[in-house]
Amino acid sequence: MTKPAKPSALHDARIEAVLERLHSEADRQLGALLFHYLPKLPGLFFGKGIQWDETKTGFYRDKYIPIERDQGEFLYLLARSLNAKTMVEFGTSFGISTIYLATAVRDNGGGVVIGTEIVPEKVTQARKNIADAGLETYAEIREGDALETLKTLKQPIDLVLMDGWANLAIEVLKLVDPHIRPGGVIVSDNVGTFKEALQSYVAFLQNPASRYRSSTLALKGGTEFSVKVG
Ligand SMILES: C[S@@+](CC[C@H](N)C(=O)[O-])C[C@H]1O[C@@H](n2cnc3c(N)ncnc32)[C@H](O)[C@@H]1O
């Protein structure tokens, strides 16, 4: 189910070729994912989203489940506009989103994307994919549970991509929030797909009493865009 190529904002043939290969491999897994979700699909039609019941990596150990191409292009441009030097990613998988973000770091003049991934085989492959794109200098993938590996953040963070398991989103937010600079941004994938599981997380970000201003964008059926204002 490869989509027709459209011009990329990245303007780097080597990186675009790696991304296209990875997106195509991910697209080939869509049948297996659809079959897995089949019993849960009514939730989507009744506006509740898919129930979150996967707290272990099980079925997902070899699944890409990446951000979509449009989300990647959006993240690249957003990171460029923020002149982002330090970014954190909850959920690296095989490195697709990391490659979009690391390209922006490189084009911004240097810095690091701190990725997190709990499945060791995915970490190995993500590092290889990032190196294939020539971006290994701009990404550090921390292997293990993000609730542990993100305890040692120090730098002011310009951008966070939240794309790990929905049931951990609030706990991860607690770890990264103190380090996000004013004007920094959180982009959260899947808030439409896993609507109920991420309800309290989104409610926190959208609460006027929080230090964020936040809105759900119609990217991939629901991507939360949150700006730290305080
Ligand atoms: C939706 S995928 C990430 C996709 C990736 N951002 C991309 O666009 O290519 C979510 C990933 O989070 C990982 N994950 C789940 N729980 C985690 C945890 N506690 N710590 C680190 N990674 C975790 C999963 O193994 C999975 O690979």
Does residue 5 form part of some domain?
A: no
Ligand 1 centroid distance, CA of 79 (Å) = 20
Indicate if ligand 1 lies below 6 Å from the C-beta of 57: yes
Indicate if ligand 1 lies below 6 Å from the C-beta of 98: no
Ligand 1 centroid distance, CA of 118 (Å) = 7
Note whether 129 and 33 are within 8 A (CB): no
Query: Mean per-residue pLDDT for 181-206?
Result: 96
Output the pLDDT for position 1.
47
Domain tally, the chain: 1
Does residue 40 form part of some domain?
A: no
Indicate if ligand 1 lies below 6 Å from the C-beta of 164: yes
Ligand 1 centroid distance, CA of 92 (Å) = 5
What pTM does this model have? Answer: 0.94
Segment 27-52, tens digit of pLDDT: 999 999 888 878 777 766 666 667 66
CA dist 161 → 16, 17, 30, 61, 149 (Å): 20, 23, 22, 20, 15
Output the pLDDT for position 54.
61
Does residue 208 form part of some domain?
A: yes
Does residue 206 form part of some domain?
A: yes
Note whether 111 and 85 are within 8 A (CB): yes
Q: State the closest ligand 1 atom to the C-alpha of 145, by its place in the atom list counted from 1.
A: 20
Does residue 14 form part of some domain?
A: no
Q: State the closest ligand 1 atom to the C-alpha of 94, by its place in the atom list counted from 1.
A: 9
Does residue 48 form part of some domain?
A: no
Does residue 132 form part of some domain?
A: yes
Query: Mean per-residue pLDDT for 187-193?
Result: 95
Output the pLDDT for position 230.
83
CATH of the domain at 77: 3.40.50.150
Q: Which domain holds residue 156?
A: 62-228
Q: Mean of the per-residue pLDDT values for the chain?
A: 93
Segment 119-138, tens digit of pLDDT: 999 999 999 999 999 999 99
213 beta partners:
227
Go through 184-209 and write b for each residue having 16 or more CB atoms within 10 A of its CB, e for each that does not: bbbbbbbbbbbbebbeebbebbeeee
